[in-house]
């Protein structure tokens, strides 16, 4: 029995070292054969044969072993996985070669309980005929699986059942005397010294928190400043509208000469806008568009825009002062500028008309080129058809040659399969001889393993005795700490922990008081900044309203100018392009009539002539829109008009 156990342990040891992802089976078997040279020839042949068979049929064996661990082997160790794979291989592939007696000896050399569980699970007829057959049939042919593996296992099942019953009786007989001889460990109490009673620490004083002040009722009421602010806004808006109306009526009076004794109407202080008095609370800094969508401005944008409007007001005041002092007028320059702009506008219209006509001319030329291209494509299609017929004939000939070569290859494979059975009979004889050799060598391995196990058990007993001796040694315990006592090291500023905590509490109170003072200063600064921003926002709103009205007046003037009728263009380039387009259209119609070429397919049910007419109509409309934009000034409304529209 020891010899058989030694052989199986050698196979298990080598199989545990194999990793499918890293090792190559052939190279692994060669390395194992080199390491087994110290053993007898019979043992070498048995170990190499069983190991190669386990690697070859690893998928079949893995199916059975994994199912065993899931169902009956939940309490078995994963270390015995290779052991179960070797037993499964011997029972499936080598049971008839070894003989039932030799197989029983190998099973008895292994742990009895594990072998009983595995053999009862594997030789269960329900398992063999159901899921094992289905899983193995997915890997190999179903007929081969049933004839060579499952039928022999079913024939050996009654004898294997007797072996399982015999092993269960052996395990019951071995376990009963062990229970009577086993010595129960009796625990003993440790001789420990009783700890000293601990002193109860003094309770810490509960801090008294000052009662908070209640929330004032004014927090839940709307402030009166908002109503006052609305009244001031309405008053200022009415005042600004009156000033704007007066400025529009008397805008040219400042350029008229006046007598020496006539006083100047208004001064810099009177012309400046009147702003409302400062209010403590700042409302939301938002402007409203005509569609009631609020536009929020940040502090930087408000200050920047306020400075811009302030500069514009100062520049306007300087211009009025210069006109009062007798400076010149820009009316002549403005008339000259309008004439030059009208001239530039006419040139742009002529250029746009030239571009439109050039596009139409290029369209006519493209139609002529497409008609010539259609004739060339017809000739190319005929040539491609002739070449395609030749290629089809060549492809049919190559298909016939490939079919003949496949038939010859199938005949060669059938002849090779006939010689496989003779090789299998020779291999079975060689395996029987190697099994006998392996059994003899396995006995020596079992003896050595028993000696190593005894040495390991003795070493463990020594370690356990040393650990118990260490546990019985007494340990020292720390002393209690008094927080009110100074350490007494003789250092400057030495104090107890209680005094240190009191000083830290005083420092925290001073730091908190400084933070409160700083927070009050920051809040006061924010209030002053918000008041300044409010004043700037109101000034910006007044300036925007005034600029919007002036931009509306300018926009009405531009619309009146744009409504004037347009004179037809008399440019020579435009007339020349129109003549060329008419010539190309006539030439295209003549060529289509001669070649009998139908019009190309359109994208929808409409004819091509209708689509072209619609295309040119859209071009005319876009040209008219560009003309109106150029007449209105080319660049669109100014920033004041865009601001009012937004």
Place of tokens 């194992």: 32
What pLDDT does 507 receive?
Answer: 94
The span from the CA of 83 to the CA of 104, in Å, is 15
CB 83 within 8 A of CB 109: no
CB 260 within 8 A of CB 566: no
Those residues with Cβ within 8 angstroms of residue 288's Cβ, 6 or more apart along the chain or in another chain:
294, 295
Question: Which string of DSSP letters, residue by residue, matches 204-228?
Answer: PPPPPPPPPPPPPGGGGS--THHHH
What pLDDT does 564 receive?
Answer: 58
Express each pLDDT in 407-450 by its tens digit: 888 888 787 777 777 777 788 888 888 888 888 888 888 888 88
Express each pLDDT in 119-134 by its tens digit: 888 888 888 888 888 8
pLDDT along the chain (646 residues), means of 10: 76 82 81 80 83 85 87 82 86 83 84 85 85 86 86 86 83 56 76 81 80 84 85 90 82 49 41 41 42 63 87 85 72 79 84 83 82 80 86 86 84 76 79 83 84 88 84 67 81 85 93 93 90 87 84 82 59 79 80 59 47 66 66 45 36
Q: Nearest 5°: phi and psi at 544?
A: -65, -40
Max CA separation in the chain (angstroms): 147
The span from the CA of 330 to the CA of 170, in Å, is 128
Other CB atoms within 10 Å distance of the CB of residue 313: 17
What pLDDT does 478 receive?
Answer: 61
What pLDDT does 567 receive?
Answer: 53
What pLDDT does 555 receive?
Answer: 86
Question: Which string of DSSP letters, residue by residue, matches 457-518?
Answer: HHHHHHHHHHHHHHHTS----PPP--TTS------TT---HHHHHHHHHHHHHHHHHHHHHH
The span from the CA of 195 to the CA of 193, in Å, is 6
3-state secondary structure 119-159: HHHHCCHHHHHHHHHHHHHHHCCHHHHHHHHHHHHHHHHHH
Q: Extract the runs of DSSP E, i.e. beta strands, from 354-465.
A: none
What pLDDT does 516 receive?
Answer: 92
Q: Nearest 5°: phi and psi at 621?
A: -65, -45
What pLDDT does 235 receive?
Answer: 92
Write 415-421 long-range contacts (CB < 8 A, 24+). Answer: none
The span from the CA of 454 to the CA of 531, in Å, is 95
The span from the CA of 557 to the CA of 561, in Å, is 6
Which phi-psi region, left, alpha or beta, contains residue 634 (left: φ > 0; alpha: ψ -120 to 50)? left
CA atoms within 13 A on the CB side of 33: 10
The one-character DSSP state at 187 is P
Those residues with Cβ within 8 angstroms of residue 447's Cβ, 6 or more apart along the chain or in another chain:
2, 6
What pLDDT does 220 receive?
Answer: 83
- Residues paired with residue 296 on neighbouring β-strands, in sequence order: 286
Tell me which H or E stretch contains 286: strand 286-288
Q: Comparing C-alpha atoms, which of 118, 114, 106 is closest to residue 442?
A: 106
What pLDDT does 276 receive?
Answer: 42
Place of tokens 């400057």: 492
């Amino acid at each position: 029995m020891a010899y058989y156990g030694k052989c199986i342990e050698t196979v298990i040891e080598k199989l545990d070292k194999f990793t499918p992802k890293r090792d190559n089976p052939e190279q692994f078997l060669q390395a194992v054969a080199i390491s087994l040279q110290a053993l007898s020839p019979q043992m070498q042949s048995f170990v190499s044969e069983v190991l190669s068979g386990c690697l070859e049929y690893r998928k079949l064996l893995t199916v059975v072993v994994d199912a065993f661990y899931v169902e009956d082997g939940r309490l078995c160790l994963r270390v015995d996985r290779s052991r179960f794979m070797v037993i499964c291989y011997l029972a499936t592939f080598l049971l008839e070669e070894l003989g039932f007696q030799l197989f029983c000896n190998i099973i008895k050399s292994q742990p009895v309980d594990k072998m009983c569980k595995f053999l009862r699970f594997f030789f269960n007829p329900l398992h063999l005929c159901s899921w094992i057959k289905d899983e193995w049939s997915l890997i190999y042919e179903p007929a081969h699986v049933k004839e060579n593996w499952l039928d022999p296992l079913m024939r050996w099942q009654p004898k294997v059942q007797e072996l399982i019953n015999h092993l269960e009786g052996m395990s019951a007989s071995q376990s009963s005397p062990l229970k009577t001889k086993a010595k129960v460990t009796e625990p003993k109490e440790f001789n420990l010294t009783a700890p000293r009673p601990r002193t109860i620490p003094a309770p810490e004083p509960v801090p008294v928190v000052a009662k908070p002040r209640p929330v004032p009722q004014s927090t839940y009421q709307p402030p009166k400043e908002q109503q006052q602010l609305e009244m001031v806004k309405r008053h200022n808006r009415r005042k600004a509208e009156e000033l704007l109306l007066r400025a529009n009526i008397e805008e040219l009076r400042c350029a008229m000469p006046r007598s020496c004794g006539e006083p100047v109407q208004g001064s810099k202080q009177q012309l400046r806008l009147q702003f409302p008095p400062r209010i403590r609370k700042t409302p939301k800094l938002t402007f409203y568009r005509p569609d009631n969508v609020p536009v929020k401005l940040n502090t930087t944008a408000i200050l920047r825009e306020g400075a811009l409007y302030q500069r514009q007001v100062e520049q306007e005041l300087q211009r009025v002062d210069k006109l009062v002092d007798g400076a010149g007028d820009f009316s002549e320059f403005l008339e000259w500028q309008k004439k030059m702009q009208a001239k530039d506008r006419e040139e742009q219209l002529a250029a746009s008309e030239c571009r439109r006509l050039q596009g139409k001319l290029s369209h006519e030329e493209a139609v002529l080129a497409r008609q010539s291209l259609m004739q060339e494509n017809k000739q190319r299609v005929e040539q491609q058809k002739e070449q395609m017929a030749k290629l089809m004939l060549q492809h049919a000939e190559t298909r016939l040659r490939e079919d003949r070569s496949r038939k010859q290859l199938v005949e060669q494979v059938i002849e090779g399969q006939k010689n496989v059975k003779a090789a299998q009979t020779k291999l079975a004889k060689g395996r029987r001889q190697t099994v006998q050799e392996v059994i003899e060598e396995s006995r020596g391995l079992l003896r050595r393993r028993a000696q190593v196990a005894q040495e390991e058990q003795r070493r463990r007993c020594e370690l356990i005795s040393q650990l118990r001796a260490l546990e019985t040694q007494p340990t020292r315990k720390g002393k209690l700490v008094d927080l009110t006592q100074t350490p007494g090291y003789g250092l400057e500023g030495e104090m107890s922990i209680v005094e240190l905590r009191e000083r830290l509490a005083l420092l925290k109170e001073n730091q908190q008081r400084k933070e409160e003072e700083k927070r009050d200063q920051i809040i006061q600064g924010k209030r002053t900044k918000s008041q300044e921003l409010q004043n700037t926002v109101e000034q910006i709103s007044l300036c925007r309203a005034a600029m919007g009205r002036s931009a509306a007046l300018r926009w009405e003037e531009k619309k009146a100018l744009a409504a004037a009728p347009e004179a037809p263009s008399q440019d020579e380039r435009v007339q020349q392009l129109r003549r060329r387009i008419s010539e190309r259209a006539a030439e295209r119609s003549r060529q289509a009539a001669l070649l009998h070429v139908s019009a190309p397919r359109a994208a929808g049910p409409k004819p091509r002539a209708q689509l072209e007419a619609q295309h040119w109509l859209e071009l005319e409309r876009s040209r008219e829109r560009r003309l109106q934009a150029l007449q209105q000034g080319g660049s669109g409304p100014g920033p004041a008009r865009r601001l009012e529209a937004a």
